[in-house]
Structure 1
Amino acid sequence: MEKIVHHKISDLYKTLSLPFEQELDFTILSIPDIHPQIPFKSPILQADYFSFILTKDGSGVYYLDDNRFPFGSGTVYFTNPGHIKSYELNESNDAYIITLTENFLRENVHSEIYSEFPFLLAEIVPPQKLSQTDFEEFDILYKQIETEFKKDSKYKNKILGHMFLVFLLKIKEKFWLDYDAIEEGNRNSQIVRSFKQILEAEFRNVMEKKQNNDKLQVQDFAKRLNLHPNYLNSVIKSKTGRTVNDWISKRTLAVSKNLLISTSCSSKEIAYKLGFSEPTHFSRFFKKHTQLSPGAYRKSNKL
């Protein structure tokens, strides 16, 4: 199996042998300029940034997780962080790619970026074919963004952010007005599925092991899924209605109830198995969710 390369925007620049002076949060590049040799096949990537590709004249195939998406001229396409992806270019005469981080989106586009544009968390996104009139609008926007990107202004990021806000509003208007993150989360969210699998595996280990465990946190799951913790929490919240910590708390409570009823472990032992630093912290957690102390719960459910 081909090795998966984990990419930041600066890694993209290194791969393309392009100069950069610091870590990048936003960039726009001409695809024919960065891939002069056609046909081209990219390495398999897992990027921690968003990519927006406008193909005016060209064709190829995008691969996203287990999906294959052919594309042609007059298309707009985007990918978000975390997915396993690659692409092939068969023709590339006129096309642009914008790459930007979640940090840039929050700071310069909209502080509640996923509330305003929930489609940014969509996972299965085929290239969108535009009419000639609509494509010209996007083409003009891309060229304006490229012009501002090349300028050296103290307000550069804010200007780019406001221009990209218009771009996102146009995408929302044309394709994503009816996007329902919860519906996608219930049907085919790979991130939600993977998160739930890891969550169940971790708590299965708690049930089976006798030694103490560390308390699970958002960053533990983000690291396993190669995602930024903020992005993972945004995906899980938007697609399940509950945060990562809500999911962890619910499983912690369920497992603690099971251990209290089905084992002779003391409340102190259960606390340490579940990663609580002090038994009193576990008691407060348990009483908050059940209105009973661990001891009272065990007594009331004794067989």
Structure 2
Amino acid sequence: MTTTALNELYQELAPCTDLNLSTLLPGGIQREVGHFNTFDIADLWEPTQPQSATPYTCRSFYKISLLRSRSRAYFANQSLDIAPDALVFSTPKVPFQWQPTEPQQGQFCLFTAEFVLPVLGGATPDELPLFRADGYPVFQLTPAEATRATAIFAQMRTELASDYAYKYDLLRAYVLELLHLGQKRQPATTLHPSYSAAARLSSRFVELLERQFPLTTSQQRVPLRTAKDFAAHLAVHVNHLNKVLKDSTGRTTTDLIGGRLAQEAKVLLRQTDWTLWEIADSLGFVDVAHFSHFFRRYAAISPGAFRMLAATPI
């Protein structure tokens, strides 16, 4: 992006502070990949200024605001009153108008899409539910969440003023934490609008299955081993769970569970010195004979032979 929009913003902010424009603008801004900055609203607030709304405008940066005072917002043909302790997410794609209704307290940070690309896995902020054009950008925080958000902004300001060589990596992490704080306030249907009920059930099954691993001590036991165990935990009938998984993966619930148990068994045989009895017990088998029969079905070899092959230098 060009720095024109950022320069315009800082031109607006400069008269409200004791700093000149060159101080507000970080050095080498045009050479940086992405841009980030943060401000305390109280430092920019003029109690004597008219309480008029900031004009509708679309800028070239994203903004996360923690508003600790009452105000009003207008966006996407909607109007709402904002109570204290609200987290607000602004995107260049949606004009946003903000009107203070009392002396303001809070913080905000602004950043370009390029700045957060490293922590979004190559995705852009617009792909997040928080910044969707049809999204809802204002989220009321609990007292604990407001305290955490305030601490994050304080850490941002501390790091931004430091000379730590990797401070921008930390700042990206703080932005990501604020994004997750906002996403936690959204309903699951908003976060995954395209997910069907079947897709959500499949996702919950996989998460529940994976959370049982890895096994790091021989005292651990796999708590859920059967299709009925998983169905009960997911509060669905076992036949429904089996149908959903069969439709989405082509495999039965029992086969998926067995495949994951076999995968963990191979890791334990290859990377630990646990006895066959300890491995069998941790994976929920009543004895080594049952474990060996199960393992042969998935690996076409006995557990002992697999361990010997794994230990043989290539």
In 1: Cα distance, 2:35 partner to 2:164 partner = 16
Whether 1:34 aligns to 2:44 is yes
**Equivalent AA in structure 2 for residue 13 of structure 1:** Y
What SS class does the counterpart of residue 57 from structure 2 fall into? strand
In 1: Cα distance, 2:138 partner to 2:42 partner = 19
Shift of residue 30, structure 1, vs aligned partner: 1.0
Shift of residue 107, structure 1, vs aligned partner: 3.3
Query: Measured at CA, do residues 98 and 137 of structure 1 come closer, stay the same or move farther in structure 2, by a change above 3 Å?
Result: same
The residue aligned with 1:53 is 65
Q: Count residues in correspondence.
A: 177
The residue aligned with 1:152 is 163
Kept in 1: contact 2:93–2:133 (CA 8 A): no
Kept in 2: contact 1:108–1:157 (CA 8 A): no
Q: Which runs of 5+ in 2 are unaligned?
A: 15-20, 195-314
Moved >4 Å (runs of 4+): 113-116, 180-183
Whether 1:8 aligns to 2:18 is no
Shift of residue 176, structure 1, vs aligned partner: 5.2
Identical amino acids, percent of aligned pairs: 16
Shift of residue 142, structure 1, vs aligned partner: 1.6
**Equivalent AA in structure 2 for residue 107 of structure 1:** P
Kept in 2: contact 1:7–1:45 (CA 8 A): no
TM-score (structure 1 length as normaliser): 0.52
- Higher RCO (C-alpha 8 Å, min separation 6): 1
What SS class does the counterpart of residue 81 from structure 2 fall into? strand
In 1: Cα distance, 2:35 partner to 2:6 partner = 7
The residue aligned with 2:219 is none
Query: Measured at CA, do residues 157 and 11 of structure 1 come closer, stay the same or move farther in structure 2, by a change above 3 Å?
Result: same
What SS class does the counterpart of residue 91 from structure 1 fall into? coil
**Equivalent AA in structure 2 for residue 101 of structure 1:** T
**Equivalent AA in structure 2 for residue 49 of structure 1:** F
The residue aligned with 2:142 is 131
- 1:31-180 residue pairs with structure 2 within 5 A? 31-37=41-47, 38=49, 39-56=51-68, 58-108=69-119, 110-113=121-124, 117-175=128-186, 177-179=188-190
In 2: Cα distance, 1:16 partner to 1:176 partner = 35
Root-mean-square deviation (CA), in Å? 2.7
Kept in 2: contact 1:122–1:181 (CA 8 A): no
Query: Measured at CA, do residues 151 and 110 of structure 1 come closer, stay the same or move farther in structure 2, by a change above 3 Å?
Result: farther
Kept in 2: contact 1:53–1:96 (CA 8 A): yes
The residue aligned with 1:220 is none
